[in-house]
Amino acid sequence: MSDTHADRVDDAFDAWFVGNDPALDRALATSAQAGLPPIAVSATQGKLLHILACMCGAKRVLEVGTLGGYSAIWLARALGPEGRLITLEIDPAHADVARDNLKAAGLAAAAEVRLGAALDSLDALIAAKEPAFDLVFIDADKQNNPAYLRRALTLSHPGTVIIVDNVVRGGAVLDEASGDPNIAGTRAVLEMLATDPRLCATALQTVGHKGYDGFAIAIVT
């Protein structure tokens, strides 16, 4: 799978920093078998999510966009014994694969996959007065990213870390006139992250196994 130099560097980083990990390898294998798109975060990106969750001592993590549970495993592993991850997924087949992978990873008690459109699930969490989350990872459909960020802020406390995936998309983020609602959603969420006085945010470009893309990372002040 090594096409570019950046891919070969990621191969080396994967070997050094991640290695074989039966639960993660299983998550990717079962996802491929079930025909899920191969769009989980890369191994080094997953470990970054894990480290960020550890750095903020996260006990409650919210994920928007579960797929086969790959990033959810990385995040849920950062939680202490009392910790909890809620991950939101619209596709029942994806949710089934993810539940199976979280169970096989020994994380069934810590991680809950909620089926439904994430906007509805987020509104339900807000209506239920769910306690604030310590970290939110936004990685579903990009057109709704501004609405996801607004709801994430409602479910946050000062110090909550908010991460948004796929904010570069091969550089398409610069295309102001893009007819692609995913690009428009990404541009709008970046503007919110940059200007909302409740947030201290930045964005980083990435290369390697996920191609040329990037993350935005913010902390609620």
Site for ligand DHB in 102-141 (CB under 6 A): 139
Nearer residue to ligand DHB within complex by CB, 59 or 113: 113
Which residues pair with residue 165 across a beta bridge?
215
DSSP state of 75: H
Q: Does 14 bind Mg ion (CB under 5 A)?
A: no
67 forms part of the interface with ligand SAH (CB under 6 A): yes
Asked if 213 interacts with ligand SAH (CB under 6 A), we say no
Residue closest to 63 by CA, chosen among 84, 79, 87: 87
- Computed from CA positions of residues 129, 131, 134, 139, in that sequence, does the dihedral angle turn out positive or negative? negative
**Two structure tokens written together for 88:** 């939101």
**CB under 6 A: which stretch of 9-17, 137-145, 177-185, 207-215 binds ligand SAH?**
137-145
- Residue placing its CB nearer to ligand SAH in the complex, 84 or 142: 142
What does the buried/exposed string (b/e) look like for 14-46 if buried means 16 or more CB atoms within 10 Å of the residue's CB? beeebeebebbebbbebbeeeebeeebbbbbbb
Enumerate the β-bridge partners of residue 113. 87
Q: In this complex, which beta carbon is closest to ligand SAH, that of residue 126 or of residue 194?
A: 126
Nearer to ligand DHB, 110 or 167 (CB): 167
- Taking the CA atoms of 133, 99, 52 and 175 in sequence, report the sign of the dihedral they define: negative
Q: Does 163 bind ligand SAH (CB under 6 A)?
A: no
One residue of 36, 165, 184, 199 binding ligand DHB per CB under 6 A: 165
Residues that bind Mg ion (CB under 5 A): 139, 165-166
Residues that bind ligand DHB (CB under 6 A): 39, 139, 165-166
Residues that bind ligand SAH (CB under 6 A): 39-41, 65-67, 70-71, 88-91, 94, 117-118, 139-141
